[in-house]
Structure 1
């Protein structure tokens, strides 16, 4: 095991992937923490309604990819703002497969962790998975993406399903139901497309 991979952990953005039989998916998350060194364990937190969460519940295994600072917003959109029930999250993505048959990113990733769930904790809207790290690899020594940089440099948003989501009440306008982006204005153009997740105007509601 490459234990230097743990040095890549930060309060940032990660892609967690899982597989149960023929069903596989992945999603973006910003909660991953190393909790013990011997044995190596981490915890992640995911919304109960996420398809990826349900696959982890059934299979008991998952991977985490630590995203690089220069990751494209297209990749974040692909994994973060659409459901694996509807699309193939891995289409046109470079990946490899771990010993459990779960795919992980080989592009835009600083490190990867292969995990097996040891305990599931119900924390209300989310499940916390406390998990043993079965393997880890450092994939790049380039800077990793922090959650602050995601918001400030990439102008990223936090979807309502994320554990760190905070509803903005000061802004007036129209909010995207998928990613939380707010269009400020009294009326929303009928042909408007969300600049973050690319859904159409039918996914916006007035706030």
Structure 2
């Protein structure tokens, strides 16, 4: 019993010391995402930004005023496009797109004035699912085959640490397209697709 108590005290002291340069905790947040079509052809147009969410874990390794912050996040983002139907009585169909991904950003940053942070780094994304829903018929279709399974992007942003709270505001872009064509309800559109995100997240340091 004494040995177990001594071991527990040793682990607690080690954790407190370790927390000076390592932290770990959960993270949740929201995003505003906009699907960008670089080949914005007449048949299909990009629409307004949509709201999404993310949740997962973050870690941070600090040394002096610099740090590395890897994260693992389940991310759900939306996009919206308008299909312009031709013919004598044209109709415009709005399609809502939902993407579920596993995102792994690795942020490199610096701390100033003790609580503020500047950061930037790459992010890898693994596509888990992609669905499209028509505004006209209400039909939902699996469109995952239209997209790459994995993509690489980048993030940059600003952060604030308040006691155990970690607040991050980041902008994310793609280094390459995540889809070169899009098949929706029997139609295929050749267009380069990229996603632009503005994310706001809050984390909690379990180790501080």
- Give the TM-score normalised by structure 1: 0.25
Relative to its length, the structure with more helix (as a share) is: 1
TM-score (norm 2): 0.24
Q: Could you say which structure has the higher strand fraction?
A: 2
The structure with more radius of gyration: 2
